[in-house]
Amino acid sequence: MNNPSVDTHPLSDEVGQEPLLAVDNLHVEFVTRQGLVKAVNGVSYTVNAGESLAVLGESGSGKSVTAQAIMGILDMPPARIPKGEIRFRGTDMLKLSDQARSQIRGQRIAMIFQDALSALNPVFTVGWQISEMFRVHRGMSKRDGMKKAVELMDRVRIPAARQRVNDYPHQFSGGMRQRIMIAMSIALDPEVLIADEPTTALDVTVQAQIMELLAELQRESNMGLILITHDLGVVADVADKIAVMYGGRIVENAPVHDLYKNPGHPYSKGLLDSIPRVDQKGQELYAIKGLPPNLLDMPSGCAFHPRCPYGRPNCVTDVPPLYEISGTRGSACHYYREVLDGTIG
């Protein structure tokens, strides 16, 4: 059994236990006509069985690109991975052949996408698309595959699954489509499930249903879950630990309770402060000034320094490493101690 307290620090190998999935110092670049876009600059995180990791960040922070690199669905070129490792049960997947990789993809690591309508094929029935998993990976017959599809649709609680298995994606509502996506992703009992903004396109009441379903499926099969989101509320509801990304780096990682109680990086602090709270009604909201960085033209030093209320001269020149705050916590801020104590600003 994996120990859930194994930290997210890259040195966790020394603890002697290899986590289920470990991303280690991953770099991803895109070659574009405008220049080299460094989307991911040295990201490390780990997920253990039964654990939920939330990756929080804005658009362009590199959270989805990291997930696509884990799945091996980046288009290369234009993307390339100059450095880093993605270890699944100790094996670096980046060194595997395409064939060995596709044995893992979909079967042992699966992914749910944000927009279920565009992720599903509109010209095939949902039953056909779910059963494809069994036909391709398990060599089942069409009939057996369809039977399995009905079972899965029942498992993700689609009402009247037997009647609806031959319907097309457009005949389902947004929430039901997302359930079909989830059915496809859990079809082969994956060990790691990556959910990329699974509820962003959905209404709140449906979002609550989907998050509950995901949590339940995770409990049943002890999956590791990577939840990619920009919603601080969803993170607080489901995650065990959190990695906050900004400009292609992790700026803070922490157990979820610690981060919400006392953020250790000015960016996480700013995000939490800008949530409208009841007692602030009518007052001006705290707003992080400025704009997210342009990946083609990253600021020198700490990528957050042009927007940081605490910026000091060395923030402009020195890139902060991910300082270790405790065994399970890190912050990429030169002044994390002062941020934690509230003695800066």
Partner 1 sequence: MAPSAERILEVRDLVKHFPLSQGIILKRQIGAIKAVDGVSFDLHRGETLGVVGESGCGKSTLAKLLMALERPTSGEVKINGVDMAKAHGGELKRMRRNIQMVMQDPYTSLNPRMTVGDIVGEPFEIHSDVAPKGDRRRKVQELLEVVGLNPEHINRYPHQFSGGQRQRIGIARGLALQPEVIICDEPVSALDVSIQAQVMNLLERLQNEFNLAYIFIAHDLSVVRHISDRVAVMYLGKIVELGKDVAIYEQPAHPYTQALLSAVPVPDPEGREQRERIILQGDPPSPADPPSGCRFRTRCWKAQDICAQQEPPLEIRAGGHLSACHFAEEHDVIHAVTEA
By CB under 8 A, name the binding residues for partner 1.
Answer: 58-59, 159, 173-176, 203-209, 211-212, 230-237, 239, 256-257, 260-261, 270-272, 274-278, 280-281, 284-289, 291-292, 307
Of the pair 109, 234, the CB lying nearest partner 1 is at 234
Kindly state the smallest distance separating residue 229's Cβ from partner 1, in Å. Answer: 10
Of the pair 50, 174, the CB lying nearest partner 1 is at 174
Q: Kindly state the tokens that stand for 35.
A: 């220049």
Of the pair 96, 310, the CB lying nearest partner 1 is at 310
Kindly state the smallest distance separating residue 128's Cβ from partner 1, in Å. Answer: 23
Kindly state the smallest distance separating residue 235's Cβ from partner 1, in Å. Answer: 8
- List residues bridging with 254 in a β-sheet: 242
Q: Supply the DSSP string of 219-281, one letter for each residue.
A: HHHT-EEEEEES-HHHHHHH-SEEEEEETTEEEEEEEHHHHHHS-SSHHHHHHHHTS--GGGT
Distance CA 333, CA 292 (A): 17
**What 3-state class would DSSP assign to 218?**
helix
Of the pair 122, 159, the CB lying nearest partner 1 is at 159
Kindly state the smallest distance separating residue 206's Cβ from partner 1, in Å. Answer: 7
How many CB atoms within 10 Å of residue 159?
Answer: 9
Distance between start and end Cα atoms, the chain: 44
Of the pair 129, 229, the CB lying nearest partner 1 is at 229
Kindly state the smallest distance separating residue 324's Cβ from partner 1, in Å. Answer: 22
Kindly state the smallest distance separating residue 287's Cβ from partner 1, in Å. Answer: 4
Cα angle 107, 109, 112 (rounded to 5 degrees) comes to: 100
Distance CA 282, CA 321 (A): 39
Kindly state the smallest distance separating residue 260's Cβ from partner 1, in Å. Answer: 5
Q: Kindly state the tokens that stand for 309.
A: 């209320």
Of the pair 175, 301, the CB lying nearest partner 1 is at 175
Of the pair 13, 231, the CB lying nearest partner 1 is at 231
Distance CA 224, CA 22 (A): 11
